[in-house]
Structure 1
Amino acid sequence: MENLECSIADGKKNITIHPQRMAVYLQSKIVEAVDNNRNVYYLFFFKNEFLAALKAASIRRRSYLEKAFKHGMMFPSTHPFCRTILSSETPFQKRSFNQLHGKLQKQYTPHQTAYILTFFDAFIPKKKLFKDIQTYFYQYRRNGQLFAGYRILWVLLDFTPNHSWVKQTVNDLEYAKFKTMYKEMAVELWEKDPIHMEKALYFKRKKNPEKAEALIDFLINENRWIDAAALLMNQLIRTSGIEKYNRLKQVLETYYPKQDLLVVLEDLYQRSPSLEPLQKDLLHYYLTFQQLNHSISIINEHGFSLNEEQWTAFENMLETVSLDSGNTQVEKLNTYIASLFKTQPDKAEIILQKCVKQLMERHDLSYISKWLIPIKEISSRSLVVKRIEQMKQLSDDPDKQQQLGELYYQFDMLDQAIECFSWEMELDKSDPLPVRWLSKIYLEAGKEEESKAYQQLFRNMQKKANA
């Protein structure tokens, strides 16, 4: 996939940025990007909604930003998840803290605003953030909204757990009934304080699978499928399971076309290569999209036995794909060609011819002879096999270079054929046959001047012979 390029609006100017990676952490997504001068920017999102773009020289220790990139799920900028998030808005607005705070107050509830403010402790002094959040608590308290105020206290408790005022206030007797509700993680908190419930379950998910399932259900119901998928991927990395994998695939198939789905599965495979259903799905997509090298790699890596439909797809790919680019992993194909000789020897011979030609570009005849061993065991009558064995015998015999040149020509290896016929011509200057071959091969190689020269030499030799 092509690298992404976005822009940040900074006053009247736009800054081009190149996203590098994205962290999915709690209710945020944070994209790290660099501009053309290697300045680093962070794009903050609450759930899927863009908040602000901030420039940073470094990441402050123990900040929310550091935790996000240390404990969150990381995805490269080429990942479909990152591309989905970055497609939401462009250019992205660079905002001062006052501008950001004003936006939050207009767009979000006080509770959401208080929580979102904790994202920015890498950029804003923690004391200032604390006081701004504390202001919401006092507003609720003055209005007699005890539970609303208690929710703010829990934001502060997570933000500054050792702050004496927070620890004392959260334990006041007037909040006793709320404290029990939070301690027991009462079901009604899903409705009354979803921010706290989501955060609490996020940190309990590793020890309590039921909590993880409840959190995933909540995220899907909120249409936060990237968060749900990232959480499922995180679970699969730690403990493989067919049910988790099927649920992840169901989520992905709902929102992504197959090409993007393949990219997501490849990313998961890099993190969890031992997941068998994932391996099989990747093979399916590689065959579907005719990605020969990837098909070869995963078949070899996991020793897959192909079913009839897969064999047909693989064979058709081998038969139609161009091997001339030199990018195909021909070295790994010998066992599959050998198997094909059992059922379709004619097709196998065509594919073998193409593969051997490609191998000649990169290997000597001894290597190719060894590579052919599985095929020899199945079909010693193969014309390609016979030619290679004959070439191997002739390669060290200076008196047989013309025969060797003809065999190289059969594999369309024109440079090697020219070398052989040139050697033969030097050995016997009276023999016109190597000269005739050289004229023919140079013409096929597109070297008309050389071809004409050897053609004239051939005519002169004929005239001399007939004189």
Structure 2
Amino acid sequence: MKCTIQSQKKQATLVVKRLVLYQNCKLIHAQGRSGQDYYLIFHKNRYINTIKVTELKIDSFISKAIEQGLIVSAPHHAIYSLINQQVFSCLPLDKMVHHAENHPKQLEQVIILSYFDQYIAKEKIINLFIETFRNHRRNGKLQQAYQVLTILEDYAPENQFARDILTSLTFQGYQSDNQEYFAFNPLQSDILEKTYLKNKRHLEISILSTVNLLNEYSDDQWQLFHHTLSDYPIDIQAKTLFQLLKQKPSLIEQKTFAKALLKYANVKQFLSIVLKPEYPHSIDPTIFIEQLEQASQDEHLAIFNKKQKPFIDRITSFPIEDKEKATRLIIESAIQITPIDEVLKWLDAFEDTFSFYNQLLTIKKLVENPDQQEKLAEFYQRFNHRDGAIECLKWEAELYPTKESVHKKLIKLLKETNQNEEADAYQEQWIQQTKYST
């Protein structure tokens, strides 16, 4: 996944690494071409600014978010939701600070500034919290004043001002109405889930359920996660699921996960998954054969050369006719570049004897007989080996230049394989041959 940032009319494309959710902040960690770290900072789902970081301060908000927050790796549909088709402007931080210092102090505004304490002095942010608290207290808004103090204490636990006021008689009996904000240290997933569901915050639910699934699979968390995934483009759904599998391979043991994964997998991914020895689920023979039919020759050859046993194990429970269909598809690709003896030897590992086996034995005999190339071409065609059939017919045409059946078959095959110029050449050759022979 990539995103684009812009600074002073210059744009740069970054590779997204991960997304961090902490309190009301979302951080997208991305890297430039030279490995430089950038953090795109969002408040809730609203983009605020981007900062470039050489080395994170240990006590910075970003460090705290990475340590205590919920993290999902790219690609992920939540990341896609935040960055899709956008260019993110990088704004000077001094303008943000100037605006905050010269406008009425709002808690949300100060919280946003605290995200940037990698570069803004922490003491300055603490003073803005205190000013905001005093404004609310002067206006008689004690609940809001209390809220500011609790957030300041969480932000700067060492701050004596916050501790002293919170323990005073003035605020005895007050309670914070923002449970979500304080549910990250220690992490209280149940509170976060309840809050996110109540407020229909699908992006946060997608992040939380992802983290929970990676920690421990449950049907409830899968349902939450899958519900948030279903509205995204198919390629994003597939990339997200494969990223989860990469992070936690044991997820493939869950039938619901495996079913969803295979639904969005391409042919190569599908075969890679179901032919792994650890894949524990049964496969519909029809679906498996459809995937093999769409597979490339290289994918068939990979099975022939490297995955014979997993292939045999996968089709063991298939009806004999489906076993034969699946195996023949592999043989049709293998016979085009593999000596017939090796093809026959490969089939020896199967318990079943397939109906096409005798045809392969015939091919073995014909290969050794240069006088039977037309017949060999016929058998090659039965296994879709057109190139082999063409070579046989060319050989036969050289030996028997007046043999009409050979020329007709050769010309037809050349046209079917879009070798029209060569087909025309043989057609002309045949016309000239018959003209002079008569």
TM-score category (smaller protein): 0.7 to 0.9
Q: 1:119 aligns with which of 115, 118, 122?
A: 115
Say yes or no: does 1:377 pair with 2:359.
no
How many matched pairs? Answer: 426
- Give the secondary structure class of the aligned counterpart of 1:51: strand
1:75 is matched with 73
Q: 1:391 aligns with which of 363, 370, 384?
A: 363
- Give the secondary structure class of the aligned counterpart of 2:249: coil
In the alignment, the residues of structure 1 paired with residue 166 and residue 194 of structure 2 have an alpha-carbon distance, to the nearest angstrom, of 33
2:262 is matched with 286
* Higher alpha-carbon deviation: 56-65 or 450-459: 450-459
Q: Could you list the per-position Cα deviations for residues 368-418 of structure 1 after superposition, in whole angstroms to 9, with x for gaps in the alignment?
A: 4355457x533x3522x3333443465566676665444323333233334
Which has more helix, going by share of residues?
1
Matched letter for residue 382 of structure 1: S
- C-alpha displacement of 1:260: 4.8
Distance 1:172 1:132, change over 3 A: closer
In the alignment, the residues of structure 2 paired with residue 237 and residue 363 of structure 1 have an alpha-carbon distance, to the nearest angstrom, of 44
Contact 1:439 1:454 in 2 (8 A): yes
In the alignment, the residues of structure 2 paired with residue 390 and residue 180 of structure 1 have an alpha-carbon distance, to the nearest angstrom, of 95
Contact 1:286 1:292 in 2 (8 A): no
Contact 1:14 1:91 in 2 (8 A): no
- 1:43-442 correspondence to structure 2 within 5 Å: 43-54=40-51, 56=52, 58-62=54-58, 63-69=60-66, 72-76=70-74, 78-87=75-84, 90-101=86-97, 110-140=106-136, 148-149=144-145, 151-161=147-157, 163=158, 166=159, 168-172=160-164, 175-176=167-168, 188-189=175-176, 191=177, 194=178, 197-205=179-187, 211-253=188-230, 256=232, 260-275=236-251, 278-284=254-260, 286-287=262-263, 291-301=266-276, 302-306=279-283, 310-315=284-289, 317-318=290-291, 321-324=293-296, 326=298, 331=304, 339-342=317-320, 345=321, 352-360=327-335, 363-366=338-341, 368-373=343-348, 377-378=351-352, 380-383=353-356, 385-392=357-364, 395=367, 403-420=375-392, 436=407, 441-442=413-414
In the alignment, the residues of structure 1 paired with residue 260 and residue 242 of structure 2 have an alpha-carbon distance, to the nearest angstrom, of 12
- C-alpha displacement of 1:120: 0.7
Structure 1 residues without counterparts, runs of 5 or longer: 206-210
- Give the secondary structure class of the aligned counterpart of 1:275: helix
- C-alpha displacement of 1:29: 1.4
In the alignment, the residues of structure 2 paired with residue 34 and residue 228 of structure 1 have an alpha-carbon distance, to the nearest angstrom, of 26
In the alignment, the residues of structure 1 paired with residue 87 and residue 229 of structure 2 have an alpha-carbon distance, to the nearest angstrom, of 27
Contact 2:29 2:40 in 1 (8 A): yes
Contact 2:340 2:364 in 1 (8 A): yes
In the alignment, the residues of structure 2 paired with residue 354 and residue 276 of structure 1 have an alpha-carbon distance, to the nearest angstrom, of 27
- Give the secondary structure class of the aligned counterpart of 1:24: strand
Contact 1:73 1:230 in 2 (8 A): yes
- C-alpha displacement of 1:141: 5.7
- C-alpha displacement of 1:81: 1.1
- C-alpha displacement of 1:50: 1.7
In the alignment, the residues of structure 2 paired with residue 102 and residue 364 of structure 1 have an alpha-carbon distance, to the nearest angstrom, of 78
What is the root-mean-square deviation in Å for CA atoms of aligned residues? 4.5
- Give the secondary structure class of the aligned counterpart of 1:231: helix
In the alignment, the residues of structure 2 paired with residue 430 and residue 260 of structure 1 have an alpha-carbon distance, to the nearest angstrom, of 59
In the alignment, the residues of structure 2 paired with residue 264 and residue 386 of structure 1 have an alpha-carbon distance, to the nearest angstrom, of 47
* Higher alpha-carbon deviation: 354-363 or 407-416: 354-363
Contact 1:395 1:404 in 2 (8 A): yes
Structure 2 residues without counterparts, runs of 5 or longer: none
Distance 1:108 1:116, change over 3 A: farther
Matched letter for residue 183 of structure 2: L
- Give the secondary structure class of the aligned counterpart of 1:60: coil
Contact 2:252 2:258 in 1 (8 A): no
In the alignment, the residues of structure 2 paired with residue 341 and residue 213 of structure 1 have an alpha-carbon distance, to the nearest angstrom, of 48
In the alignment, the residues of structure 2 paired with residue 353 and residue 432 of structure 1 have an alpha-carbon distance, to the nearest angstrom, of 32
- C-alpha displacement of 1:217: 0.7
In the alignment, the residues of structure 1 paired with residue 55 and residue 218 of structure 2 have an alpha-carbon distance, to the nearest angstrom, of 36
Matched letter for residue 225 of structure 2: L
Contact 1:283 1:298 in 2 (8 A): no
Q: Percent identity?
A: 21
Say yes or no: does 1:42 pair with 2:39.
yes
**TM-score between both structures, scaled by the size of structure 1:** 0.71
Matched letter for residue 184 of structure 2: Y
- Give the secondary structure class of the aligned counterpart of 1:233: helix
- Give the secondary structure class of the aligned counterpart of 2:47: strand
Contact 2:396 2:406 in 1 (8 A): no
Matched letter for residue 202 of structure 1: F
- C-alpha displacement of 1:269: 2.4
Q: Could you list the per-position Cα deviations for residues 85-131 of structure 1 after superposition, in whole angstroms to 9, with x for gaps in the alignment?
A: 235x9553432224434777899973333332221122323343333
- Give the secondary structure class of the aligned counterpart of 2:275: helix
